[in-house]
Amino acid sequence: MSTLLVWREKLQKLYAAYSVYILKGIQFVLGLVLFGLINSNIGFMKMASSVFCTIGLAVICTFLPTIVMVMAATVLILAHFYALSLPIAIVSAVIFILMYIFYFRFTPKKSWLVLVAALAFGLKIPFVIPVAFGLMGTPVWIVPAACGIISYYMVDFVKRSATALKSADADGIAASLTSFTKQVLSNKEMWLMIMAVVIGILVVNMVRSRAVSNAWKIASAVGAVVCLIVAAAGNVILEGHISYVSIIVSAVLGIALGIVLEFLFFSVDYSQTENIQFEDDEYYYYVKAVPKVGVSAPEKQVKHITEETGNKAGNTEDILLTRSLSKELGIEKERPE
């Protein structure tokens, strides 16, 4: 355990020294995965789905605020939708605008949460979101989480129904608009997963803030299990097609992520917990104090050999050599008594 704590201290020092470069590297990888998933799933516009476009967008967005990456992803999705069908692009643009209104109202500086939520669903690990968001954030993080989930399911629906949607476009814009809107908004699986994630975030955040030992571990486990139960029960009731293996693996990964986050951001020693009581003129105070766990990284000590020491060593060797030669040649000087 102490070795892990030492590595954590080293990582914290490394991040403190190179945080700008580390964050930009993470932002580049995030953009590369995001734009790559979009182009690989709905690459209807050939020019926009090229590898050069994917890498170029990732590089450009690396040096700009994350909200620009969200906007770029939205424009890229709408461009692919437009190449497939104009009505789909129109309806999707309206839905994105409504989501942005809610996003800017509640979490204007947390644009990366939308991207992370959408990517988690794209990578088939949805239940890492309630655990991570519940531990590290506040209940208001349910807004960007919901926006990311809606974006994912909208893209997934178009991917699975591309042929039917393209043929429906020939029947008229009005009919296509109505049909696509109904199909997207009546997606039972989407609303079920939004409900599971929202409940999970609230449960994790509530348990995490309780004054109990191992609150973060308990919150991670309870939140993941609650999400699993809600998703499984809803899938049975709604006769859905959610993969049970997928959500079980996702819940296990969520618990593992919770343990990692606790180690990195909330490592405490519950065995040294103290309950303190004091008062003032108006109130009694009951405080539970839990010490943090910290181990200082060992510092390497380097011994420098100075030039003076080296010269002394050389002089000693010269003296010994001179005495040896003098003794052999019989010219060693007699020492005065």
Q: What is the mean pLDDT of residues 230-257?
A: 92
- Residue-wise pLDDT for 3-55, tens only, equals 777 787 888 888 888 889 999 999 999 999 999 999 998 888 888 888 999 99
57-78: b or e for each residue (b if 16 or more CB lie within 10 Å)? bbeebbeeebbebbbbbbebbb
- Residue-wise pLDDT for 261-309, tens only, equals 988 887 777 777 888 888 888 888 888 788 777 665 555 565 555 555 4
- Residue-wise pLDDT for 180-211, tens only, equals 788 888 889 999 999 999 999 999 999 998 88
For position 207, what pLDDT does the model report? 93
Give the Cα separation of 91 and 169 in Å (integer).
13
Q: Is the pLDDT of residue 329 over 60?
A: no
Q: What is the mean pLDDT of residues 242-267?
A: 90
pLDDT band at residue 93 using 50, 70 and 90 as cut-offs: very high
- The DSSP letter of residue 98 is H
Three-state secondary structure string covering 86-152: HHHHHHHHHHHHHHHHHHHHHCCCCHHHHHHHHHHHHCCCCCHHHHHHHHHCCHHHHHHHHHHHHHH
Domain positions in the chain are 85-259
Whether 82 contacts 93, CB under 8 Å: no
Q: Is the pLDDT of residue 333 over 80?
A: no
For position 337, what pLDDT does the model report? 46
For position 87, what pLDDT does the model report? 83
Q: Which residues pair with 165 in a beta bridge?
A: none
Whether 68 contacts 61, CB under 8 Å: yes
- Percentage above 70 pLDDT, the chain: 84
